[in-house]
Chains A and B, each alone.
Chain A
Amino acid sequence: MTNHNDKEYLINQLKNMPKIEDQQSKEQLYQKIQRKLNHNQSVLSKKRVAVWIPTLASICSIILLFIIIQTQNFSNQSDQSSSNSAEDSSMESAKLENSDQTGESSIAEDQDESKSINNSQDTEAVEEESSQKLDQMYNYMINIKNESAVYTAFITEQAQHIVPVTLLNSKEETYSNYIEQIDGQINLDQNGLYDIGIKDMEFTIEEA
């Protein structure tokens, strides 16, 4: 019974709790709400911008990655192609060198041996044959006992190669005439050959 009475008493006490009133005016409250509302909206718009920034950044980074990968692929391909072409060119140059060497060695042999010579071939024929069959080795038996021979050499445009030339049975007595004779047969300038100025050089042949 007392429990029930206590309960009733409690309910009555709760109902008689003091009324709480807000002291601020309606206008004041409305202004505060308005300010908060505007602030919330600006925060929201900032949040929206803040959401866009990482999205844009990630898109940009993806594009950048794509570009980097593309350029790497391209450079790899070009490297491969250039290495292939380099290999090709090295092969070619090796061939050329080989042919040059063969040519040189053949002519060197000419110079070294310089004992017998094939009368039927002139220098022009030697030049043409050597250019046509670069990979072949030629041996020239040069016999200069009864023949007259004039030695000279030309250089290529960038002085990479020296092309020695021997003219057999040359009737020309002077060097300039000799050059003219060669020039008549081969257009030196067109073939990228230049006079080395061998006329000013002195050669001595040491016979063993």
Chain B
Amino acid sequence: MKTTFEHFYDKYHQDLFQFIFYMVKDKEQTEDIVQDVYIKVLKSYESFKGESTEKTWLFSIARHETFDYFRKLKRKRNRFLEFFNWGGEEGEQLKSTLAEPEQSVLLNDQMKHIYHCMEHCSIDQKQILILRYIQEFTIQESAEILGWSISKVKTTQHRALKILQQCVQSTKREEDDDDKP
């Protein structure tokens, strides 16, 4: 069991951690999900038939675990929203006072815009941006990880870039407007 873990850790761990971090943008949650991914890998490695590469298999597990996390998060959020009626007229929306992830400190202004604008994309669009450009998977590999067709990868990637572009431009405009005397 340990050798399997070591094998995957040595080959893919930092890529795996990065992919999950850019998806959830929370270090502790990332560590938690990474552990779950390894548990799944260790449990089901014997049944791995080698139809895809180890890397795409590992990332498809990571993708499923991340989706599970988002589903749980959404359920939790909905429960809170229903309980407190924050979204209604009576409620008041407050911005989070939590500090931004430590990694975002390293980003320049333009990268910060991109980092935040990624949240304007859907989860599918976000993960294709991470897989294709941050992790630098090929279209074929991305399609294998996501279980999509190549054309779906291409269209989702195109839409994701468009949304990101629009968001970055509008943020830039707002900043320019604020800078004007």
Contacts and interface: CB of A to CB of B under 8 A. Distances in A.
Nearest to A3: B165
B149 interface: no
Interface stretch (A19-27, A127-135, A142-150): A19-27
Contact of B161 (A10, A17, A19, A40): A10
Chief secondary structure at chain B's binding surface:
helix
A22 B34 contact: yes
Contacts of A179: none
A17 B39 contact: no
Interface string B73-112: 0000000000000000000000000000001001100110
B14 A22 contact: yes
- For this complex, into which size category does the number of interface residues on chain A fall? 20 to 34
Given A15-B133, A17-B111, A22 B13 contact: yes
Interface in A33-73: 33, 36-37, 40
Chief secondary structure at chain A's binding surface:
helix
Contact of B35 (A15, A20, A29): A29
Interface in B109-161: 110-111, 114-115, 129, 133-134, 136, 161
Nearest to A6: B165
7 pairs of A and B residues whose beta carbons are closest in the complex? A14-B133, A22-B17, A20-B18, A20-B21, A18-B106, A33-B38, A17-B134
Given A18-B107, A37-B39, 10 more contacts: A6-B169, A10-B161, A14-B133, A17-B114, A20-B17, A22-B31, A29-B35, A32-B31, A32-B35, A37-B42
7 contacts: A7-B165, A10-B114, A11-B133, A13-B110, A22-B34, A29-B9, A29-B35
Interface of A: 3, 6-7, 10-11, 13-22, 24, 26, 29-30, 32-33, 36-37, 40
